[in-house]
Copies of this chain bind each other. A is one copy, B any other.
Amino acid sequence: MMKNIAVGQSGGPSAVINASLYGVIKTAFESEKIEKVYGLYHGIEGLIKGELVNLDYLRGNEEFERLKHTPGAFLGSCRFKLKETDLESIEAIFKNFDKYNIGYFFYIGGNDSMDTVGKLSRYAAEKGIDIKIMGVPKTVDNDLVLTDHTPGYGSAAKYIAASLREVILDSHAYNKPTITIVEMMGRHTGWLTAAAAFSLLDDNHDELMIYLPEVVFNMDKFIEDVKDRLKKVVSLTIAVSEGIRFENGRFVCEGEHEVERDSFGHAALSGCAQVLHHQLEKTIKAKYRTVELNVLQRSAGHFRSLMDFTESITAGEESVKHALSGETAKMVCFNREYDENGNYKIVTSLHDVSQICNKEKYFPLEWMTDDHFVTADFIKYAKPLISGEPEMIMKDGLPYYAKLKVKLESV
């Protein structure tokens, strides 16, 4: 008997999360084992409520080709922490799986989403329910373990590097001491901020200092280091992760603001650049600028990495192929190889989501230098990930993105 599939998106959007969605849907459309493709309206929340969108209208539609280039979560996302004790939600989910004849479920997200995939898989196994449940990796933070990198990181890193290069060029305008503080996303890991290293146009990195959450932050040392650096350069740029912390574990940004927490207990951070600005200006006279890359860095569909885009589609495609061949409770991982000419390539493998969820891959401390830069190892690691640009679909001078036509199936 033919089955249907359900696919959902979770957590923060990215510039390529819909490329993975495209990979899932396209492979499902092409499979003879699958009848209908349903999208969860706002992730697992929609699945609990029975809000599913029939995506068959995308079949052969030009909007389907635009979908793969569209940033943001096409289906809508959520931040819903599914608890193993929340049987009401879990039973509602499986009731809807049954009602919509779902044989395969794909959840695109980060380590919290893998936790959801794990819980639902275990429930299915315990109850003897035949459904294949797969996690599709996505996070600009690049913090999933057991995979060389994650879809979303390359594009965000590329956008950060290009934007910083431009901000630095702009900061050369005036012939007087200028300090530009640029804040990147990254609660616990510094992968995105490290991409700032690519912004430089030559080998001299005196103009750039990089601060990651993995390295304990000391305000006095920071101010002294900035003073020292300004003896060498007129224009200094400081790239800093939102999640840098003092030795006592307190976020630097907590210096001034109350910190909101989301439903996972994660602190909603911002304003770290402002805190550093206010501290520096007490003792260092300069022209100051603060730039928060904010959601721009994860949604910049107009400047994505071709490698990231291609790999994101692959992650979606491979997930469906493996599910169709019987795998469940797994996530597609990337393994890096270099061919005989030293060219980067990836091969994929599967890992249990239970080994991935609720863990974080930190930026290696040995890839940071004492003078607040990164080593050649990081450059070698990240360079292929930001390479190339996908051809875009443009209309009237702007990226022509797709927008979900919400037509919910009746519950």
Question: Chain A residues in contact with chain B, CB under 8 A?
Answer: 12-13, 15, 41-42, 45-46, 70-73, 76-79, 158, 161-163, 165-167, 169-175, 198, 201-202, 289, 291-292, 294-296, 298-303, 305, 383, 386-389, 394, 396-399, 401, 403
Contacts and interface: CB of A to CB of B under 8 A. Distances in A.
Given A76-B172, A161-B397, A198-B396, 7 more contacts: A13-B173, A45-B175, A71-B169, A76-B173, A169-B299, A198-B398, A387-B397
Given A42-B174, A399-B165, A294 B289 contact: yes
A175 B41 CA distance: 9
A181 to B, nearest CB: 11
A170 B299 contact: yes
9 contacts: A79-B174, A162-B398, A166-B300, A166-B399, A202-B403, A291-B292, A291-B294, A291-B295, A386-B397
Nearest to A175: B42
Central interface residue in A294, A383, A389, by most chain B CB within 10 Å: A294
Contacts of A15: 166
Contacts of A386: 396-398
Contact of A175 (B76, B162, B174, B397): B76
Nearest to A46: B175
A224 to B, nearest CB: 26
A113 to B, nearest CB: 13
Contact of A172 (B73, B172, B294, B396): B73
Contacts of A299: 166-167, 169-170
A298 B170 contact: yes
Contacts of A73: 172-173
A201 B401 contact: yes
5 interchain residue pairs of minimum CB distance: A72-B169, A166-B299, A170-B299, A77-B173, A386-B397
Given A296-B167, A299-B166, A397 B70 contact: no
A46 B175 CA distance: 10
A301 B401 CA distance: 21
Nearest to A295: B170
B294 A162 contact: no
Given A78-B175, A300-B163, A397 B305 contact: yes
A173 B72 contact: yes
A317 B34 CA distance: 61
Central interface residue in A169, A289, A292, A303, by most chain B CB within 10 Å: A169
Given A289-B295, A386-B397, A13 B170 contact: yes
A163 to B, nearest CB: 6
Contacts of A296: 163, 166-167, 291, 296
A303 B305 contact: no
A170 B185 CA distance: 15
Central interface residue in A165, A170, A303, A305, by most chain B CB within 10 Å: A170
Contact of A170 (B72, B198, B201, B302): B72
A398 B71 contact: no
Contact of A12 (B158, B173, B202, B399): B173
Given A70-B169, A296-B296, A299-B166, A158 B397 contact: yes
Contacts of A166: 15, 71-72, 296, 299-302, 399
Contacts of A175: 41-42, 45-46, 76, 78
